[in-house]
Structure 1
Amino acid sequence: MTDEEVLSEFRAAEALLEGHFILSSGLRSPRYLQCARVLADPMRASRLASSLVASMPREIRSAIQVVVSPAMGGIIAGHEMGRALGVEALFVERPEGVFELRRGFRLEEGQKVLLMEDVVTTGLSSREAIKAVEAAGGEVIAAAALVDRSNGTADLGVPFFPLITIAVPTYAPDELPPELAAIPAVKPGSRAKPA
């Protein structure tokens, strides 16, 4: 898929939002990609994951033994990547603020893992999930995401393969431009934070 075809999928799902958004990192943005909406259509989710898998180097694709995603946002994307790669898809969650495998999920020592996200903004969530995978015995050999909002600046410590990179401005809450400060902020993501 070309970048324009990927964006067309987001537009068709009404997943490209405009306004004043509080990101999970705490930063603010005038645009938000609601991946849950784009992934709600199983056929669309499958197309996006298949396209992402096809764009990854063959040696990485063939080495992946399991996909792990952070809950909540990454679960569907991770499941579709698992399907496209023909491997299991697990997820880590934060029952007490730190990612961990639960629900009977486990990794074998040295198992080769693809960490899959829906959106990467700062990379913090991904790095935390990678630590959880390593603590469980897995080896993250690559990370992937439907969208890289970091404009290529997120360092995950492993090769990173986004389906699309989108440059969307972000601002600290105390450094908002006037036009953004004039709009009420909303928190559309899965992690609650006070406005």
Structure 2
Amino acid sequence: MNLEEIYKNCQAYLEGHFLLSSGKHSQFYLQSAKVLESPVLAEKLCKELAKIIFENSIEFDSVCSPALGGILAGYELARACDKRFIFTERVNKEMTLRRGFEVKKGEKFIVCEDIITTGGSALESAKIIESLGGIVVGFAALANRGFCAVKNLNTQSKDNAKLPSNIPLFTLGNFDFEIYDEEKCPLCKQGSKAIKPGSRGN
């Protein structure tokens, strides 16, 4: 499966000057919503992701995703695995579990995102699950932006990766893009203004 080709064909591989949810800047942006707007393609991708997880003998009960970006990928992964699905969401900038969702003590979870950058949002969701007595046994995403170690791709983590090293991450592909702090961003120095094309902007 050529994930880069899929993103480009869906016009989801964007080039410009982007503000990421982490607050950092990048010349490239993966707009997974454009990929997941096709239910047939979403199902295909998440079935492949489910296959990778099962091939690595990961046993789990449920899937949880951080809203908003991870919801479609997480739901399709849960459907492919015939598992329960819940999501966390930010309230006053803090990740919370609402809408009557519950976590049982000892319940095993995969935390699923559309894209993993540093893994901050996924880690926030994991901490919510663990605080309620659940166990996070793995992380999953359609794509990794090159910062976190991916078990099935045998990649190594970088200094700013936030996911714990003792819990595996599974993805369909790796996109190794440069990201910059705002004060060190070469695009900003050229006079360009970063835009946020994801769920928190346009």
- The answer to whether the superposition gives a TM-score over 0.5 is yes
Q: Which runs of 5+ in 2 are unaligned?
A: 150-156
Q: What residue is the counterpart of 1:37 in the other structure?
A: 34
| Contact 2:66 2:89 survives alignment (8 Å) | yes
Q: What residue is the counterpart of 1:89 in the other structure?
A: 85
Matched, 1:128 2:124: yes
Deviations 1:53-72 (A, max 9, x none): 11223420xx1110000000
Structure 1 runs (4+) deviating above 6 angstroms are none
When the two chains are superposed, the root-mean-square deviation of aligned CA atoms in Å is 1.6
Which stretch of structure 1 is more off in the superposition, 82-91 or 180-189? 180-189
From 178, 181, 197, give the equivalent of 1:169: 178
Aligned equivalents of 2:117 and 2:20: distance in 1?
8
| Contact 1:6 1:48 survives alignment (8 Å) | no
Matches within 5 A, 1:4-83: 5-56=2-53, 57-60=55-58, 63-83=59-79
Matched, 1:156 2:163: yes
| Contact 2:43 2:76 survives alignment (8 Å) | yes
Q: Which runs of 5+ in 1 are unaligned?
A: none
Q: What residue is the counterpart of 1:187 in the other structure?
A: 196
Number of aligned residue pairs: give it: 187
Aligned equivalents of 2:94 and 2:187: distance in 1?
36
Deviations 1:41-97 (A, max 9, x none): 11111111111111223420xx11100000000000000000111101110011222
Matched, 1:119 2:115: yes
| Contact 1:113 1:141 survives alignment (8 Å) | yes
Aligned equivalents of 1:133 and 1:43: distance in 2?
30
Q: When the two structures are superposed, what TM-score results if normalisation uses the length of structure 1? A: 0.90
Higher relative helix content: 1
What is the identity percentage for the equivalent residue pairs of Structure 1 and Structure 2? 40
Deviations 1:28-50 (A, max 9, x none): 00000001111111111111111
Aligned equivalents of 1:70 and 1:116: distance in 2?
8
The secondary structure found in structure 2 opposite 1:127 is helix
Aligned equivalents of 1:123 and 1:58: distance in 2?
21
